[in-house]
Chains A and B, each alone.
Chain A
Amino acid sequence: MHLPSYRRYEIAPEPRMPEAKTARRVAIVGGNRIPFARSNGAYATASNSDMLAAALDGLVERFDLQGEKLGEVAAGAVLKHARDFSMTREVVLGSKLDRGTPAVDITQACGTGLQATIYIANKIALGQIESGIAGGVDTTSDAPIAISEKLRKKLMLVNQAKTGADRVKALLKIRPGDIGLDVPANREARTGLSMGEHQAITGKEWGITREAQDELTVASHQHLAAAYERGFFDDLITPFQGLERDNNLRPDSSLEKLAKLKPVFGGPDGTMTAANSTPLSDGASTVLLASEEYAKEHGLPILAYFVDAQTEGVSYVKGEEGLLMAPAYAVPKLLDRNGLTFADFDFFEIHEAFASQVLSTLKAWEDPTFNKVKLGRDTPLGAIDRSKLNVNGGSLAAAHPFAATGGRIVASLAKELSEKGSGRGLISICAAGGIGVTAIVEAA
């Protein structure tokens, strides 16, 4: 290169700005879970770590991930012992994955599993990782029970005392009344109401009938039973501790049988029963996600793509909105951003925390006043085709180990889309604290 005489150096090329990365498509490769078990039953002695490990091991085996170093594993549990602060990482270390696979614990009540999926999917979309596993686990049989707050504070003072005498003095301050247990309760901290009590209010305010709830419940059991019958779950479930199917499933569930049950929420005239509400349960689920390149390179199948997600919160503390109504707000945002309507979906996976919750949400989407006043829409979102709702059963039948539900839904929906070979599915999960987590999945 000819340089003018005064220039004794070559001009360095402009430093290149890192290119703004466009989002990449995120492939859902597959999932694995253990059958869900009713509380204090089949998994009474299993810990969260045991169950998550079982679900993860099954996934690793199914997709030959032994020794593989994945981008990240994200999972969580709603009810967790303090000692399990690094539960997911510990489970990864105990698995056949490469020990260099990082892991993170995340929690968002019943939204945990789906939020973990969103977390991994976003990292893949941004090119930060190529592959990852999302999961969740919960046990109400091995729940963390703490000592009473008064006793704990006084014991902390004992611990902080410098001399033996001080320690004795601190110990003597403990009164019999301080001794007690702090058992975790399914209760909103700010209202003191359990989730069922909250939903009883919401269902009442939306005029949700007992019959409609029982019908949804029967459909959930029938759909789940049918899915088992046709072997749908054969490559989605690994048996655990002698259990091969969700043991909450009642294939013979019927409206007549359900009609006999007494209400458990909303007083003696309430509409919510033990059948049309999800039971406390134990279980774990996992989902394998990857970039398209990674999937191709590793010869992994692509069941579907994880397209987009939306999390919303509602103010429920003074009864401004129902505790579990956040998905009713999240879904329209998600649809609008993707230019979609309900007619564009082939499957709707609405988490059945309570039949009443699903029906309240559906009714809100159809309701002209809710759409106008709360969503600012002149035309309602409208009704969904009920034949597309929870086609392989929902939480009412499968049960709902809080953090494990998201993974169950993502994997099942991806597989259903893959079987159909085209189409789109919507996921909607309500969570404690007035949270709603929603997502769109598309066939590959």
Chain B
Amino acid sequence: MSDTYLKFANSFVGKQLAPRLGLPQPPVLKRYVPGQKAVDGAVLVGQAEGGRLATAIAGVLKSADADVWTAEGPLRDAAGALDLTPKIYAPETAGDQRFQALVLDATGIAHPDELQALHAFFQPVARKLRPSGRLLVLGTPPESLTAGGRVSQRALEGFTRSAGKELGKGATSNLIYVAEGAEDQIESTLRFFLSPKSAFVSGQVVRIGVGAGKTAKVEIDWEKPLAGKVALVTGASRGIGEAIAETLARDGAHVVGLDIEPLAADLKTVTDRIGGSAITLDVTADDAPEQLAKQLKADHGGVDIVVHNAGITRDKRLANMKPETWDQVIAVNLIAPDKITLALLKGKVLNRGGRIVGVASIAGIAGNNGQTNYATSKAGVIGLVDAFSADIAAAGGTINAVAPGFIETQMTAAIPLGIREAGRRLSSLGQGGLPIDVAETIAWYASAGSGAVQGNVVRVCGQSLIGA
């Protein structure tokens, strides 16, 4: 489960050899440690003329106690109203200054000519991003616009995706579309994408305030954003599920772990460690959804967060695949989440403002040799997000999915060496992710502050070439 080459490339000898031999030099990614500031380092903020998010961005940076820099001008002058005194950035005086994050409010770009603002803001600092730095562009959902606005806002995606491939040293690049009216809903998302929690999320496009119900601004303890919440995690006994359970518990949730009977002992070890509770259940059983709904209602009065993590692979080329191999995978990965979600909604077990998170896969987006069954089920999970979106939004909740790429688990350790190495290196970050990377992304969706984060499928893949 460990990436031996990554360790070698970052050793003394490896650092000398890898560049000389033209070998990949995957960086060690910075990851979140509880108690850490959301952004540990300077944040350069810019705004294309006419933008509407600068105040909201500044507010988040103030709340996160960040070291804020910006050019002199209206953006900086306005910061005083937020009790912020941004440091002054100018290319000719910046000297040796490095930035942990570069954030551009691009919502003002209404014409392709004005895309020049991307170059003007990012070009002088393209080499000034620290290792594991963050590049963020905030825009307006193109589908809500017409004409030049629609064209240029859509164009932003090409920029952030390419930048992600150029930055190197573990830096990531993402695009956040914020719907008009959702300006006060960006904090949880901005914090996630600025922080080391999003270490393995790059080249992604996120929408805030699209298809979401009405959301009020909430006061949140950012160290414990899930305090008082009950979270169901299926397949919680090991791998990614275990990391999800631990992360949600870290953020303050009471975690109800679920797994099948043969893994009951492993599951109990996990839930005991995090002070959660365990349910042993086969999610494919006919009565499983109702039984689960009943038990959650009885024991916890309902559930706030549901993570459909349980999943299996039964890889075979289609020509060799038996029907039961197909059926098993579809049953666990797609039918079970569908039925459980439905049961929880029907029985009003999902509390108001609840969060449903599906676990898809890049195989579900890009397809994969030997995984027709698996990819079908995972693409179906994306379909679940679309299908349930309206109903859940009506109940003040959200549904989103993560699509993990190559994540270092027992499952990926079983892949033959050549394919495994290709899976790891063929991404912008040049390595596989860790279960915690998927878990952090889910914790962002689950956060009380993410009420306007609706209908997203975010890949946790280090901007893998596969499916890109």
Contacts and interface: CB of A to CB of B under 8 A. Distances in A.
Interface residues of A, number: 24
A207 interface: yes
A221 B284 CA distance: 86
B90 to A, nearest CB: 4
B117 interface: no
A229 interface: no
B16 interface: no
Interface in A196-221: 200, 203-210
B85 A207 contact: no
A204 B95 contact: yes
Contact of B86 (A204, A267, A269, A369): A369
A342 interface: no
B238 to A, nearest CB: 42
Nearest to A211: B92
B88 A205 contact: yes
A368 B84 contact: no
Contacts of A267: 95-96
Contacts of A373: 80, 83-85
B89 interface: yes
A203 B92 CA distance: 12
Contacts of B3: none
A370 B85 CA distance: 6
Interface string B86-118: 111110111111000000000000000000000
A373 B97 CA distance: 24
A58 to B, nearest CB: 43
Contacts of A204: 87, 93-95, 97
Given A369-B84, A373-B83, A207 B93 contact: yes
Contacts, number: 55
A301 B451 CA distance: 76
Contacts of A209: 90, 92-93
A90 to B, nearest CB: 46
Interface in B387-404: none
Given A369-B76, A369-B77, A369-B80, A270 B95 contact: yes
A269 B96 contact: yes
Nearest to A263: B95
Among A209, A319, A369, find the residue whose CB has the most chain B CB atoms closer than 10 A: A369
A266 B96 CA distance: 7
A374 interface: yes
Nearest to B81: A372
Given A368-B77, A368-B80, A372-B80, A206 B95 contact: no
B166 interface: no
B80 A205 contact: no
Contact of A374 (B72, B76, B85, B97): B85
Interface string A359-376: 000000001111111100
B90 A207 contact: yes
Contacts of A372: 80-81
B96 A207 contact: no
A271 interface: yes
Nearest to A266: B95
Contact of B88 (A206, A269, A374): A206
Given A209-B90, A368-B77, A200 B84 contact: no
B92 A205 contact: no
B79 interface: yes
Nearest to A271: B93
A374 B84 CA distance: 9
Interface size class of B (residues with CB under 8 A): 20 to 34
B84 A206 contact: no
Contacts of B93: 203-204, 207-210, 271
Interface string B6-47: 000000000000000000000000000000000000000000
Contacts of A371: 80
Contacts of B76: 369
A401 B130 CA distance: 39
A271 B90 CA distance: 12
Contact of B96 (A206, A270, A369): A270
Contacts of A370: 85
A357 to B, nearest CB: 14
Given A369-B79, A369-B80, A372-B80, A271 B95 contact: yes
Among B80, B86, B87, B89, find the residue whose CB has the most chain A CB atoms closer than 10 A: B80
A132 B72 CA distance: 48
A236 to B, nearest CB: 36
B54 to A, nearest CB: 14
Nearest to B88: A207
A369 to B, nearest CB: 4
A367 B79 CA distance: 11
B63 to A, nearest CB: 15
Contacts of A270: 95-96
A370 to B, nearest CB: 5
B287 to A, nearest CB: 59
Given A207-B90, A209-B90, A369-B77, A269 B85 contact: no
A266 B92 CA distance: 13
Contacts of A200: 95
A324 to B, nearest CB: 15
Interface string A270-291: 1100000000000000000000
A166 B226 CA distance: 66
B48 to A, nearest CB: 20
Interface in A375-430: none
Contacts of B80: 368-369, 371-373
A271 B92 CA distance: 9
A116 B162 CA distance: 62
A267 B94 CA distance: 11
A367 B85 CA distance: 9
Contact of B72 (A207, A269, A271): A207
Interface in A156-209: 200, 203-209
A268 B94 CA distance: 11
A206 B94 CA distance: 10
Given A368-B77, A372-B80, A207 B89 contact: yes
Contacts of B79: 369
B11 to A, nearest CB: 28
A266 B93 CA distance: 10
Nearest to B79: A369
A373 B80 CA distance: 6
A367 B80 CA distance: 10
Interface string B299-336: 00000000000000000000000000000000000000
A281 B86 CA distance: 36
A303 to B, nearest CB: 39
Interface string A41-79: 000000000000000000000000000000000000000
Contacts of A368: 77, 80
B77 A205 contact: no
Given A368-B80, A372-B80, A210 B92 contact: yes
Contacts of A271: 93, 95
A269 B77 contact: no
Among A203, A205, A209, A373, find the residue whose CB has the most chain B CB atoms closer than 10 A: A205
A279 B51 CA distance: 47
Interface string B255-299: 000000000000000000000000000000000000000000000
A192 B88 CA distance: 24
Given A203-B93, A267-B95, A372-B80, 4 more contacts: A204-B95, A369-B77, A369-B80, A373-B85
Q: Which 9 A-B residue pairings sit nearest by Cβ, starting from the closest? A: A207-B88, A369-B80, A267-B96, A205-B87, A372-B80, A269-B95, A207-B90, A369-B85, A207-B93
21 contacts: A204-B93, A204-B94, A204-B95, A205-B69, A206-B87, A207-B72, A207-B88, A207-B90, A207-B93, A210-B92, A269-B94, A269-B96, A270-B95, A319-B67, A368-B77, A369-B76, A369-B80, A371-B80, A372-B80, A373-B83, A373-B84
Interface of B: 67, 69, 72, 76-77, 79-81, 83-90, 92-97
Interface of A: 200, 203-210, 266-271, 319, 367-374
